[in-house]
Amino acid sequence: MRGLGEVPHRWVGWPGQLSSSAADGREALTRRLREEQGCEPVFIDDEVAYEQFYEGYSNATLWPLLHYMTERARFEPSWFHGYEAVNRRFADVVLEVAGRGARVWVHDYQLMLLPAMLRAARPDLRIGFFLHVPFPSHEVFRVLPERETVLRGLLGADLIGFHTFGYLRHFRSALLRSLDQDSMPDGALVDGRHVRFGVYPIGHNREAFDRVTTQPRYQAQLEELQRDFGDRRIVLSVERLDYTKGIPHKLQAIDRFLGEHPERRKDTVFFILAVPSRQSVDAYRELTARVQLAIGELNGRYSTFSRQPVHFYNRGTSLERLAALYAFAEVALVTPLVDGMNLVAKEYVDCRGAPGARPGTLILSETAGAAQELAGAILVNPYDAQGVARAIASAIARTPHEASAAMDPMRSRVRKHDAEAWARSFVGDLELESRVPLDPAAEVGDALLERIVGATRLGLILDYDGTLRRFVGKPEDATPELELLELLERLGALTGTRLGIVSGRPEAFLQQHLGHLPAWLVAEHGFRQRVPGGEWEDANPRADLTWLDVVRPILEQAADLTPGTHVEVKKSALVWHYRRADPEFGAWKAGELVGALTEVAANMPVEVHRGHKIVEVASQQVSKGAALDALVQSWAPDLVVACGDDRTDESMFHRRDAYPLLETIKVGPGATYAAWRLPGVAAVRRFLQRIVELRTGE
């Protein structure tokens, strides 16, 4: 691509069924592609893999599904194996040619697993992925049996790009609903990495059209069109012969127009250029036959001896011929049922400035991605044949001045935002550092570990959910694994070390799963406590809990009105859980609930906070900070490390001002008063394991 030539690059791609050639021919092809085009071929050896990968999973499963046509999607388990195998083959070739720290740009739905494969093998790579087709709503995407694997494949990238914000919004919804992965419009935190999202509307090849419209062959094509059609108005359609393009629906609209406007049958010609597509697939052969039959019926109904209204060409054409058609046509009828972008619309708009071009009007489907950019087009619902027929009549009736007034601003935009600008924008963003914003906390490093090793009397105070144990769909299922229990056992047994687990969990849970450990246990954010081997007792027996009876009905009403939610009743707190609710509806109701509770409990000794899939109302007279105070007094340590992931842990982190001996660690993203940060549960466990190793000399 011009403009990127100063950056050394290599294209990696499948050369098609040439891959079935003999080994010596394949070697010659590889040399030629490398030397002449800077390409690295990916050969797909097994014909079954080709059928499973390309004709099967890519084009018979993903393509219709991503275009909202679930009734056309087919699901064969063996196809996904072929899709996975070809993605793996691409990964192998990329890894062979990519140097350390290389930038890798992966394109489109055929390679959705590739980013994660590359990430697992080479964390040093900077990986971008761009989806050239729509990303559908979650209600459609969830039909895909392998949806979780596909989404995780995409999340291996550093930057994921879409044509429109709508596709990005659908992708975020799929992450939330299928993976329980929270995100923001600009990205998500995934395993401690910041995966960025972006909107990059692709442009057309402006330079190619500028070049070709200065050639004599273009002028010759334009003159030929003038001789053949004279002053008749040309309504042009250019598309692949694909069921997503809505050609049968377009023909219905043309039928309506010709039937309702007999005066236009002599001076209006519909020129349909439909490039053959995937003719080895039954659905495409059937579509071709259906379109040809419908056009034959239309011409039979409306033709005269000298003229026919619809000219249909089921073949490709030269760029000179295409540019001439764009320039000559007074109307472009671009009405796909759904389209990721649609560059035909942009090419037509740009060619309004070509030599000899007539003023023109663009009729554009509102379901094409380009509709969000081309505000001067006449937008139509492609399923509304009557509405499209009215749009055709309106476009033909426009004066040259009216057509130019609507077209000129669009042409200025498409020329500025062409394919080169699109590529530069994406690659430029891929170059940016994808760092998780951890300030003001610093990533845990050797300085903290050195202080821990040197401590004679070390205290460790650890949160449970989100710190020691990952969140799961059902809170009751978040029991400690054997690996975690063994790690905590070793920590508690270290010489000169005291271990405390301060959690929002009730005492029954902590007693059942952690009661055997040599650890101080604190339940309900500090309300109940127990020394190793001792009995449970209230941390603050004089705490006022009369507010429980006032707040509980409010939470129970919210649970009644929000399917998939429930209220957990603790001795000093009430928790509304919405993990099993519809994610977006649950988050919305949580916001409403926090607002209502804040107002009702304004004069009560309580604190309302929103945590991970919960809204909690807890007594102000107990806190993790107060629990830390008690543990520090009991242990008399020379160093305490407190580690937690949510707002309730901030009451411990704020004790930094009171205790120079206190080191604080925030787990995960978000604003914090802690001095240090770890990205997630896995990092916490590695950190604790390192403490064991350092303090035992292993």
CATH number of the domain residue 51 falls in: 3.40.50.2000
In a domain, 4, yes or no: no
Helix (H) or strand (E) holding 234: strand 233-240
Asked if residue 668 lies in contact with residue 470, where contact means CB atoms within 8 angstroms, the answer is no
Catalytic-residue membership of 645: no
Where do runs of H (alpha helix) occur along 338-384? Answer: 343-350
Per-residue pLDDT at 4: 47
Per-residue pLDDT at 657: 84
Same domain? 251 vs 362: yes
Q: What does DSSP assign to residue 368? A: B
Cβ neighbours, 10 Å, residue 242: 21
In a domain, 212, yes or no: yes
CA of residue 199 relative to chain centroid, distance:
11
Same domain? 418 vs 480: no
What does the CA dihedral 174, 180, 181, 182 come to, rounded to 10 degrees? 100
Residue ending a domain, among 399, 425, 451, is 425
Same domain? 460 vs 588: no
Both tokens of residue 265?
């049958």
Q: What does DSSP assign to residue 158? A: S
Is residue 436 predicted with pLDDT exceeding 50?
A: no
The residue written with tokens 């793996």 in the block is: 88
Same domain? 195 vs 217: no
Same domain? 254 vs 361: yes
Is residue 496 predicted with pLDDT exceeding 80?
A: yes
In a domain, 9, yes or no: no
pTM tops 0.85: no
Same domain? 181 vs 51: yes
- Where residue 116 falls among pLDDT bands split at 50, 70, 90? very high
In a domain, 21, yes or no: no
**Class of residue 387 by CB neighbours under 10 A (exposed 0-12, middle 13-18, buried 19+):** middle
Per-residue pLDDT at 85: 94
Is residue 440 predicted with pLDDT exceeding 80?
A: no
Per-residue pLDDT at 609: 83
Same domain? 527 vs 659: yes
Spatial CB neighbours of 596, under 8 Å, sequence gap ≥ 6? 554
- Where residue 94 falls among pLDDT bands split at 50, 70, 90? very high
Q: What is the pLDDT of residues 153-186, one digit of tens each?
A: 999 999 999 999 999 999 998 998 898 888 888 8
3-state secondary structure of 228: helix
Per-residue pLDDT at 343: 96
Is residue 21 predicted with pLDDT exceeding 80?
A: no
Residue ending a domain, among 595, 619, 643, is 619
Both tokens of residue 420?
């080169």
The residue written with tokens 């129970």 in the block is: 556
Q: What is the rounded average pLDDT for all residues in the chain?
A: 91
Per-residue pLDDT at 279: 62
Domain CATH number, residue 589? 3.30.70.1020
CA angle 168, 171, 172 (to 5 degrees): 90
- Reference 140, options 69, 206, 223, 59; nearest CA is 69
Same domain? 598 vs 645: no
Query: How many whole angstroms separate alpha carbon 524 and alpha carbon 609?
Result: 14
- Reference 521, options 461, 459, 458; nearest CA is 461
Length of the chain: 698
Catalytic member of 255, 339, 463, 645: 463
Helix (H) or strand (E) holding 287: helix 282-302
Count of domains for the chain? 4
Residue ending a domain, among 578, 593, 619, is 619
Average pLDDT of span 501-519: 95
Average pLDDT of span 68-85: 95
The residue written with tokens 């992708």 in the block is: 171
Query: How many whole angstroms separate alpha carbon 155 and alpha carbon 153?
Result: 6
CA of residue 444 relative to chain centroid, distance:
30
Cβ neighbours, 10 Å, residue 418: 20
Give 81 or 672, the one with higher predicted confidence. 81
Q: Which domain holds residue 595?
A: 548-619
Per-residue pLDDT at 552: 94
Per-residue pLDDT at 2: 37
In a domain, 128, yes or no: yes
Q: What is the pLDDT of residues 603-635, one digit of tens each?
A: 888 888 888 889 999 888 888 999 999 999 999
Q: What is the pLDDT of residues 550-600, one digit of tens each?
A: 999 999 999 998 998 999 998 888 999 998 888 888 888 998 898 888 888
Give 591 or 377, the one with higher predicted confidence. 377
In a domain, 5, yes or no: no
Asked if residue 98 lies in contact with residue 122, where contact means CB atoms within 8 angstroms, the answer is yes
Average pLDDT of span 32-55: 86
In a domain, 666, yes or no: yes
Query: How many whole angstroms separate alpha carbon 485 and alpha carbon 492?
Result: 11
Same domain? 472 vs 608: no
Same domain? 509 vs 394: no
Cβ neighbours, 10 Å, residue 560: 10
Same domain? 291 vs 310: yes
Same domain? 600 vs 634: no
Give 15 or 301, the one with higher predicted confidence. 301
Asked if residue 263 lies in contact with residue 228, where contact means CB atoms within 8 angstroms, the answer is no
In a domain, 371, yes or no: yes
> Percentage of the chain surpassing pLDDT 90?
70
Q: What is the pLDDT of residues 257-291, one digit of tens each?
A: 999 999 999 899 999 999 887 666 677 788 889 99
Domain CATH number, residue 537? 3.40.50.1000
Query: How many whole angstroms separate alpha carbon 140 and alpha carbon 173?
Result: 11
Query: How many whole angstroms separate alpha carbon 110 and alpha carbon 66?
Result: 12
Where do runs of H (alpha helix) occur along 42-187? Answer: 47-50, 63-66, 77-97, 114-121, 138-141, 147-154, 165-179
Average pLDDT of span 460-466: 96
Query: How many whole angstroms separate alpha carbon 367 and alpha carbon 58?
Result: 22
